[in-house]
Each structure stands twice: as structure tokens, then as C-alpha cells.
């Protein structure tokens, strides 16, 4: 009798623990991955930026520039039936060069005007940017963190080449989630038209990023919460947190990659870019920026950023 009693107690404890873990897993999925209003990042110290950076990001003249441009709106249907929106701006003078840009988590296509203005006005390139699935004007009821988005960008690249010709040359430039997206894209079979990738503040994988944030934001261990959250993500969004890996993709990459990361980034640590750089199959370079937080390098050290970008492109491509 006593043995049966203890067995029931153990089963009860395990059952309660399982229920708690599953409730937490759905909570984390809804918090981070489901498409909905999100305010959990407000007040996050890891995302605090200097007053100068905040002014540039919120009120910089690049936002006025974006509003004044006449972007062509493109629509494609993804491999899984989602309607996606993209925006193409032709260079003022004919050019076969296109910069394809990807925005960060909870952002939208026009956020990349911060970089697009430079490429367009100073370099004379065509620029293209898109709303990631689950963002902006694109459909999708979940955030892909780059994994399914990598296939979307392959489709956008094919569309650009189809419209502008086989001699079109493309570089990919992403920030934060967009940087990881471009790295994941780099691991796919890409046409020779794609010449290089610029990855600003990327993470190694969704699993690694969630593990880091689960500890930093919630003071929780990865196990058992991450495996169960990954299971919910696979059921609801069709991908697991471990398979969504920029690290595994760059091990297959053939295009040159420039990694850029702020040394003061505590949201996505610079060590992730270092790990990516060390494991990249193709030719690669790494630039770190002192006193720059997450996604800040371009604002904090714009001249250094542009110089390194141009040196990289001149060395590995014929872009001038």
C-alpha cells in the first residue's frame, strides 16, 4: 500500500510539472513567436541605446528620405502560400547592382532605409527590402526568425533576377534577425548573381538566442523549457528552434560574408558573431565596434562601418 501511495505521489508531481512546463511553453511561444502585440521588450536594459542613437533611429533624416521615395511594391506568394510584400527602388542612373536588405525583429521593411539611403544616394545602387513574414504588410501568423524567411529571400532574389536580367549582381544586408536571415539564406543554393553578405548583429541560432534570453530575462534554465517550447513552435509554426540555425547554414556558404557586431551588445552578444565567423566555410571578415549596443554599429561608428564595408566589397567583389 505504501509503495502505491508513493507511486501516486511521484506520478502526481511529474504530472503537475509537465503541465507547468507546457503552460510555460505556450506562454513563451505566444510571447516571442506568435504574431501579436508585444510589449515585453519595453524597458529591457539590453536594448537601451544612447540618446544620440535614439535620435538617429527615431528622427533621423533617413526617415524623411524613405517617405519621399517612390518604391515599387512587389507581392509574391511563398512556398507555403503566404502573401509577402517587398519594395524596390531603382537607382537614379541605370545599375545592375542591387542591395537586398532584411530588417530586425518586430521591425518592417522601411527600417532598412537607415542603410538604404547610403547605398542609394552615395553608391548609386538599386535597393530592395521586404516585410518579413509575420511583419508589416506581409501575411503570416508567426515570426520565422529567419528560418522560413530564408526561402522567401531566395524567391525574392529569383524575382529580382527575372525582372532585371541575368547580369544583375546582388549583395544581402541584414540587421539582427535580418542578419541571421541573410546568413541562413547564404546556406541555400544561390545563383552566382549573389556576391556577398553583410551581417550586422546576428545570432548563431534561434535556440542559442532563446537560451541566452531565457537566462538573462527570466532567470530560467534551458531545460526543460526550451525543448518544450521548440516542440510547440514546430507544431504551430513548422520549425524547431535548433534547426533554425545560422551557424549550420554558414558552414555551407559559398559567398563572402562580413560580420559586424557591437562589443557592448548584451542582447545578442558579440561572441555569436565570432562563432559564426570562425565556422564560415566561405571567405569572411569580422568587424567589432566598441561602445556599440545591439544594432548600433552603423550609428555609433558610421565612418568606420562604411570604410570597412567598402573595403570588403572591393576586395571580394567588383563593387565600387
Clarify whether residues 74 and 127 are in a common domain: yes
Any domain includes 309 = yes
| Coil/strand/helix, residue 197 | strand
Clarify whether residues 177 and 266 are in a common domain: yes
Q: How many CA atoms lie less than 13 Å away from 185 in the CB half-sphere?
A: 38
Question: Is the CA virtual torsion 180, 181, 187, 192 positive or negative?
Answer: negative
CATH code of 194's domain = 3.40.50.1820
Q: What is the pLDDT along the chain (320 residues), one digit of tens a residue?
A: 556 665 555 565 555 555 666 787 889 899 899 998 877 666 666 566 565 676 777 777 999 999 999 999 999 999 999 999 999 999 999 999 999 999 999 999 999 999 999 999 999 999 999 999 999 999 999 999 999 999 999 999 999 999 999 999 999 999 999 999 999 999 999 999 999 999 999 999 999 999 999 999 888 888 888 999 999 999 999 999 999 999 999 999 999 999 999 999 999 999 999 999 999 999 999 999 999 999 999 999 999 999 999 999 999 998 87
Clarify whether residues 197 and 302 are in a common domain: yes
Domain that holds residue 196: 50-205+244-315
Clarify whether residues 183 and 117 are in a common domain: yes
Any domain includes 44 = no
- Count how many domains the chain has: 2
Clarify whether residues 178 and 310 are in a common domain: yes
Clarify whether residues 135 and 168 are in a common domain: yes
Count the neighbouring beta carbons within 10 Å of the beta carbon of residue 296: 23
Q: What is the CA radius of gyration of the chain?
A: 21
Clarify whether residues 128 and 266 are in a common domain: yes
Domain boundary residue among 216, 238, 260?
238
Clarify whether residues 212 and 302 are in a common domain: no
Clarify whether residues 200 and 148 are in a common domain: yes
Q: In this structure, are residues 280 and 257 in contact, taking their beta carbons and an 8 Å threshold?
A: yes
Clarify whether residues 11 and 129 are in a common domain: no
| Coil/strand/helix, residue 8 | helix
Any domain includes 8 = yes
Clarify whether residues 156 and 105 are in a common domain: yes
Any domain includes 37 = no
Any domain includes 142 = yes
Burial class (CB in 10 A: 0-12, 13-18, 19+), 93: exposed
Amino acid at each position: 500500500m505504501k509503495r502505491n501511495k508513493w507511486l501516486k505521489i511521484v506520478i502526481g508531481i511529474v504530472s503537475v510539472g509537465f503541465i507547468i512546463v507546457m503552460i510555460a511553453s505556450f506562454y513563451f511561444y505566444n510571447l516571442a513567436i506568435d504574431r501579436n502585440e508585444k510589449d515585453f521588450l519595453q524597458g529591457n536594459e539590453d536594448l537601451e541605446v544612447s540618446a544620440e542613437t535614439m535620435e538617429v533611429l527615431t528622427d533621423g533624416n533617413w526617415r524623411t528620405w524613405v517617405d519621399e521615395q517612390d518604391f515599387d511594391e512587389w507581392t509574391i506568394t511563398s512556398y507555403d502560400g503566404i502573401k509577402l510584400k517587398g519594395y524596390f527602388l531603382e537607382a537614379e542612373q541605370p545599375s545592375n547592382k542591387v542591395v537586398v536588405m532584411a530588417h530586425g525583429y518586430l521591425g518592417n521593411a522601411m527600417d532598412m532605409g537607415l542603410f538604404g539611403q547610403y547605398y542609394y544616394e552615395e553608391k548609386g545602387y538599386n535597393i530592395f527590402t521586404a516585410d518579413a513574414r509575420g511583419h508589416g504588410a506581409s501575411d503570416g501568423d508567426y515570426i520565422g526568425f529567419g528560418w522560413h524567411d530564408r526561402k522567401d529571400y531566395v524567391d525574392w532574389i529569383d524575382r529580382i533576377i527575372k525582372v532585371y536580367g541575368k547580369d544583375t549582381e546582388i549583395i544581402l544586408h541584414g540587421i539582427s534577425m535580418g542578419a541571421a536571415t541573410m546568413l541562413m539564406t547564404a546556406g541555400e543554393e544561390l545563383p552566382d548573381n549573389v556576391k556577398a553578405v553583410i551581417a550586422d548583429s546576428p545570432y548563431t541560432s534561434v535556440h542559442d538566442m532563446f537560451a541566452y534570453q531565457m537566462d538573462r530575462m527570466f532567470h530560467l534554465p534551458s531545460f526543460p523549457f526550451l525543448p518544450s517550447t521548440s516542440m510547440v513552435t514546430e507544431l504551430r509554426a513548422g520549425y524547431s528552434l535548433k534547426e533554425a540555425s545560422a551557424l549550420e547554414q554558414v558552414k555551407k556558404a559559398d559567398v563572402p560574408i562580413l560580420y559586424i557586431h557591437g562589443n557592448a551588445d548584451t542582447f545578442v552578444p558579440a561572441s555569436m558573431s565570432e562563432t559564426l565567423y570562425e565556422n564560415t566555410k566561405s571567405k569572411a571578415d569580422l568587424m567589432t565596434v566598441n561602445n556599440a549596443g545591439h544594432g548600433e554599429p552603423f550609428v555609433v561608428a558610421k565612418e568606420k562601418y562604411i570604410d570597412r564595408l567598402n573595403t570588403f566589397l572591393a576586395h571580394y567583389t567588383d563593387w565600387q
